[in-house]
Chain A
Amino acid sequence: MNVWMQQHPATLLGLVIWAFGILWLMPSRRPGQIRSQRIGISIAAAGLLLFCGSFGKSTSDLASEVMFWVFAAGALGCGVLMITSRNPVYGALWFALSTLSTCGLFMVQSAPFLAAATIIVYAGAVIVTFLFVIMLAQQSGAAGYDQRSQQAIPATVAAFVLLGALSMTLQSAPPQFVRVEIQAPVVQEQQAGTMMTLDPNKPVNPPEPDAIPNYLSRADYKTPVGSLKGLGRSLFGDYLFAVELAGTLLLVASIGAIAIAPRREEGAL
């Protein structure tokens, strides 16, 4: 870690300045005090520029470069606006826009299904539920405690330490990305009445990768994940254990939620 700090002082400095700018922008604890937004925005922007500049240049083509920066700026900007807006409804909406920008990033990385699923789950269901709760809870305008941020300093510090750890991992050990040759989708002339069959050209048991990265899942780098079929096969084949584990966790959570919800006799709706 010390080595990383000496080698990348710009990254560290950028992170600190950026964190300070965000902290400045957060709605203050005392309702009367209003800080100048311009100062906060310029500090945060300076830190962000320093942080981004300390990374190496990317090698992708211009179109995806432009799209990456547009979506990344959208996601970051909307995220900052989400935590700094005083109105909870606007906060939820900025959250939705930030999610949509992230889905744009997924699209650029040619993961359309991930993008669509994220839109359905987050923008379409979770944030709509947030809006529902906000509107139901505050029909007479936002309460005072909702207009300022609670625990601003610990939250900012935690978030930026996490970001620093991520950038340290990225900078000190660039991962060896495995280039996956995406095969052209095999269009099978399927007769109606016959079920989907596996591609006969493909071996049933693909050869084991050299190193197993995780005992819970067996990632198969040879499966083309770009297509929906490949994604499904990977999710319910290579990562079956993780998927089942997540499903069990969600089931337990929903049983718990039903158990602690008040019954009708206890005065619920």
Chain B
Amino acid sequence: MPELLITLITIAVVVGAIPGVCNYLILLERKLSAWMQDRVGPNRVGPMGLFQPLADGLKLLLKEEVIPSHVDRVLFLIAPGISVFTALLAFAVVPFGPVGDASVPSIIRFIIAPNIDMGIVFIFAVGSLAVYGVVLGGWASNNKYSALGALRASAQVVSYEIPLGMSVLGIALLSGTLNLEQIMKQQVDGGILAWNIWFQPLAALMFFTASLAEANRLPFDLAECEQELVGGWHTEYSALKWALFFLGEYTHMITISFLTSILFLGGWHFPGIAEADSVYMGAWLVKLLVLISKAFFFICVMIMLRWTIPRFRFDQLMELAWRVMIPLSLANLLMVMFCAHFGASRWWLLPGSLMLFAAWGMISASLRDTERRAKPGYVRKKAVVAHDSHSTSHSSAH
């Protein structure tokens, strides 16, 4: 059974590699944060702090397992497992290299489950289960802060799933398939001008934003929100159980980065070095590296966003999902449908997306203005200025 053997090898490689990669992503996050804040970052263990993740991992493994007496024991123990399980399961249909490339040795396959007809839908289905880890962890902890974090997480994930799914529907319409390998292949065959980002820039932005919210990354990490909720849903967790939660989060980050690269940035295609017809020694390695660098780029963007955009307030978070992203993704989908139905060129979608973005910005700005005026305590700006000048002149007269 060579097929089964290849699948087992791929599973072993992925499951073995992801925790190591996640460990080093934490180092990357700390180093990048330090760089952005003009600090040095971890530099004690090994050269340039390179062995810091190993030390951290050992510490988390060997730390005492604390289970508080007031928790719901079963759910408390299951929750971190659900987090990791769903995050790893979603990776099963993500192609992480040049799948089906002729130059790849037959023993290597860059996807665990190939030819899944509904690849993206599977990822959404599994991803929608990931919130159970957070919700159950928060509820089982029997702690006010944890429960608040879990409440926020459940509302947030349910809201952001809608724009996440709808932003990809445009691509599904354009490519005529939901299979990730097929979507990647179409972009690769068409060259750089067939990358979906040219036709769906708005969808790419919304997909990335919504998946940040799904992964509980800043600026959407209202569920753990240290300043208000101590640690949010993981307040009562420590040692390996805490580490498992974060393994799940970082795996989610990796999946998102791969998905964004595959759906919108042409997968392993890069003009000049990794084209569909480039056959040279080790071409598949270059293609693999191209895809991994694209994913790495998105991971770096996520980490840098953490120190660039402050955390939202909860009502702002909900407003972004329901009043901005859902209408916008609907409009974007409608645009693609019109384009497909009347057989217009795909290039109309690029100016269309930009216009949609600008128009929605203006509409929501004017809506906000009307809303502010309708509030009972509204004071017109002019009056405030007059009052201020009056008071200053008054005080200066004295």
A residues neighboring B (CB under 8 Å): 89, 93, 96, 112-113, 115-117, 119-120, 123-125, 128-129, 131-132, 135-136, 139, 185, 190-193, 195-196, 227-228
Contact = CB atoms under 8 A, between A and B. Distances in A.
27 contacts: A93-B136, A116-B118, A116-B125, A117-B121, A119-B125, A119-B126, A120-B121, A124-B124, A124-B131, A124-B161, A125-B128, A131-B139, A131-B154, A132-B155, A132-B158, A135-B147, A139-B147, A185-B117, A190-B175, A191-B189, A191-B190, A192-B186, A192-B187, A192-B194, A195-B343, A196-B173, A228-B117
B176 A131 contact: no
B264 interface: no
Contact of A113 (B118, B135, B155, B173): B118
B178 interface: yes
Contacts of B189: 191-192
B132 interface: yes
Contacts of B128: 119-120, 123-125, 128
Contact of A193 (B116, B139, B190): B190
B151 interface: yes
Contacts of B132: 96, 128
A148 to B, nearest CB: 20
A139 B345 CA distance: 55
A119 B132 CA distance: 13
B154 A228 contact: no
A24 to B, nearest CB: 25
Nearest to A141: B142
B99 to A, nearest CB: 14
Given A123-B128, A135-B147, A139-B147, A113 B121 contact: yes
Nearest to A269: B315
B122 interface: yes
B140 to A, nearest CB: 9
Contacts of A131: 135, 139, 154
B124 A120 contact: yes
B222 interface: no
A2 to B, nearest CB: 46
Nearest to A134: B139
B346 interface: yes
Interface in B104-120: 116-118
B157 interface: yes
A128 B157 contact: yes
B365 interface: no
Given A123-B128, A192-B187, A192-B190, A128 B135 contact: yes
A193 B158 contact: no
Contacts of A124: 124-125, 128-129, 131, 158, 161
B340 interface: yes
B376 to A, nearest CB: 9
A191 B128 CA distance: 33
A124 B128 CA distance: 5
A135 B125 contact: no
Q: When A and B form their complex, which 6 residue pairs have the shortest distance between CB atoms, in order from nearest?
A: A124-B128, A192-B190, A196-B176, A192-B194, A119-B125, A116-B125
Interface centre among B117, B125, B190 (most CB of A within 10 A): B125
Contacts of B117: 112-113, 185, 227-228
Contacts of A132: 135, 151, 154-155, 158
B229 to A, nearest CB: 14
A228 B193 CA distance: 28
Contacts of A193: 190, 194, 345-346
B150 interface: yes
Given A113-B118, A113-B121, A135 B343 contact: no
Given A112-B118, A117-B121, A191-B190, A128 B131 contact: yes
Given A132-B155, A190-B176, A116 B346 contact: no
Contact of B158 (A125, A190, A228): A125
Contacts of A119: 125-126, 128-129
A40 B131 CA distance: 34
Given A125-B158, A192-B187, A116 B151 contact: no
Looking at A115, A191, A192, A195, the one whose CB has the most chain B CB atoms below 10 A away is A192
Contacts of B174: 195
A115 B121 CA distance: 10
B194 A228 contact: no
Interface in B194-211: 194
A185 B178 CA distance: 13
Given A93-B136, A117-B125, 8 more contacts: A115-B125, A120-B128, A128-B158, A135-B154, A139-B147, A192-B189, A195-B176, A228-B178
Nearest to A197: B176
Given A132-B151, A192-B194, A193-B194, A120 B187 contact: no
Contacts of B346: 193
A245 to B, nearest CB: 21
Contacts of A123: 128-129
A132 B147 CA distance: 10
A111 B246 CA distance: 34
Contacts of B118: 112-113, 116, 228
A101 to B, nearest CB: 14
Interface string B139-159: 100001001001100110110
A45 to B, nearest CB: 24
A112 B175 CA distance: 20
B125 A195 contact: no
Nearest to B116: A112
Contacts of A115: 125
Contacts of A112: 116-118, 122
A116 B121 contact: yes
B87 to A, nearest CB: 15
Contacts of B193: 192
A124 B194 CA distance: 33
